[in-house]
Amino acid sequence: MSALPVPADATLPATTAQLFIDNEAVPAQTGQTLPVVDPSTGTVFGQIARGQRDDVDRAVRSARRAFDGPWGRTDAAQRGRLLLKLAQLVEREREPLARIESRDTGKPLRQARADATALARYFEFYGGAADKLHGQTLPYQEGYTVMTLREPHGVTGHIVPWNYPMQIFGRSVGASLAAGNACVVKPAEDACLSLLRIGELAAEAGLPPGTLNIVPGLGAEAGQALAEHPGVDHLSFTGSTDTGRRVAQAAAAHFCPVTLELGGKSPQLVFADADLQAAMPVLVNAIIQNAGQTCSAGSRILVERSIYDATVAQLAERFAALRAGPASADLDLGPLVTRKQQQRVWDFLSDAQASDLRFAAQGQIVDHAPSEGFYQAPVLLADVPIEHRLSQHEIFGPVLIVTPFDDEAQALAFANGTDYGLVAGVWTQDGARQMRIARRLQSGQVFINNYGAGGGVELPFGGVKHSGYGREKGFEALYAFTSLKTVAIRHG
Ligand code: TXE
């Protein structure tokens, strides 16, 4: 039986996607389900099993058996081969995976395709890295040999949000499996179909039963149960700051280490000497991609006053040309993921209106977009004071904030002046300033004269301050998924 309704096109009948445990599709123990909603139309097109505490427990036990059994005995080179095989299967299934994701999340098709490509690349990167992760020998006193061993934690839990299910799954599960852990994944209740299909592909690639288990369900039920489970040895969480705090508290009760990626209010600093022509499409894309529902969205632009009016005018021209519509129409933006997200963005925009902020430009929702879909036209807000709520909080929608600054010191103060610190962009031709600012920005990543570096599977990623802690992506992530053991031998 398939875990999935497999909605490879937009017209499939409603069926129920099950949990994926021990390489098998199984119903939730309560038999309960949750609706799957198409954000482009606002209609229900399927059901997913509603995993709860008992299901999470079953998945953790299954992962433990795999870790103590066949998976734990699989050597690093073979783990790498299996991940490379999984990468190939994801490539083979790129189009159906993209279509599932696009329907489930509302992403325009080409963005969903890019996510599937990135997922394959994560498995490829970590497949290649699996047998290159090792400890060291350390100089110590005469008569000793001391070494460190990098060992997997055991069972790792992964709480995945709905904005980039495939990419976030790839970066955390890929690294964890490469390091030798067995995984239990709790996808977001709003978007889990692609991940259930990937579970099946992992089984097809040859991962032993229990190595990768997927339990969809509500955050407060399955998510909380996973964070609290004493059998989980490491947790990766991507989502909101409030939920991240709850997850970290639950994990602390059993001393479980956590990696937290909690979003941001990422600034791009544009100085008067910037190459504006090169910057402009990047500035727009950084907030438009995935309808602004991106943890690293470039959601604030700080512009030196001498070029401020010209920059806002150029941005406004581009914003006015942007179009939002159904995911299948593959426009600049799809709908937001849920009615709840749409309401959240509306609340921020009502606040902007109440505060008399300047709406410098707005894109359009195309006429043929279904009226029940969760659409939001992109909005450009100019002259927004740094202390305003819209400058301080993550909106998670296609709303770009622009603020002028007078000098480098003020630019830095504004850039660092929120609770977040995930990503920053700096646009200037002045090499000394590039380095000065890169060092002083409170941010996990800094991009100079670019933004996001095309996704950067290889580039360590994570935040400071309320954006979280720990690093994902790149080789660095592998360290988080291992614990270091020191072995000291006295041989005289
Ligand atoms: O997030 P939650 P929501 C931000 C963004 C967005 C806001 C709210 O600003 O507008 O969060 O989104 C699971 N124990 N980001 O409500 O609640 C949940 O099921 C364990 C930023 O969707 O953080 C889902 O799988 N897990 C972000 C995941 O946590 C729990 C991505 C994220 O949900 C849980 C998403 C609990 N008690 C939202 N409660 C980013 N950093 O990219 C919920 N979950």
Taking the centre of ligand 1 as the mean of its atom positions, its distance from the CA of residue 60, in whole angstroms, is 21
pLDDT tens-digit profile of 243-254?
A: 999 999 999 999
Domain range annotation of the chain: 16-262+470-486, 267-457
Atom 37, ligand 1: which residue's CA is nearest? 220
pLDDT tens-digit profile of 284-315?
A: 999 999 999 999 999 999 999 999 999 999 99
H or E element, residue 59: helix 53-68
Per-residue burial over 294-317, b = 16 or more CB atoms within 10 Å of its CB, e = otherwise: bbbbbbbbbbbeebbeebbebbbe
pLDDT tier at 15, thresholds 50, 70, 90: low
The catalytic position among 93, 221, 261, 472 is 261
**Does pLDDT of 1 surpass 60?**
no
Average pLDDT over every residue of 337-358? 98
User: CA-CA distance, 196 to 296, in Å (whole number)?
Assistant: 25
End-to-end CA distance of the chain: 61
**What are the Cα distances from residue 89, in Å, to 277, 347, 406?**
40, 42, 52
pLDDT attached to residue 8: 42
Taking the centre of ligand 1 as the mean of its atom positions, its distance from the CA of residue 444, in whole angstroms, is 20
User: CA-CA distance, 54 to 373, in Å (whole number)?
Assistant: 35
pLDDT attached to residue 453: 78
Name the pTM for this structure: 0.96
Specify the ligand 1 atom closest to the Cα of 159: 25
Which top CATH class is 267-457?
alpha beta
**What are the Cα distances from residue 56, in Å, to 158, 184, 221, 403?**
12, 8, 9, 46
Taking the centre of ligand 1 as the mean of its atom positions, its distance from the CA of residue 291, in whole angstroms, is 17
Is ligand 1 within 6 A of the CB of residue 393?
no
Out of 240, 296, 337, give the residue to mutate to test ligand 1, the one with the largest number of ligand atoms within 8 Å of its CB. Answer: 240
pLDDT attached to residue 38: 97
Average pLDDT over every residue of 414-419? 98
Active site residue 261: yes
CATH of domain 16-262+470-486: 3.40.605.10
Mean pLDDT of the chain: 96
DSSP state of 461: B
pLDDT tier at 233, thresholds 50, 70, 90: very high
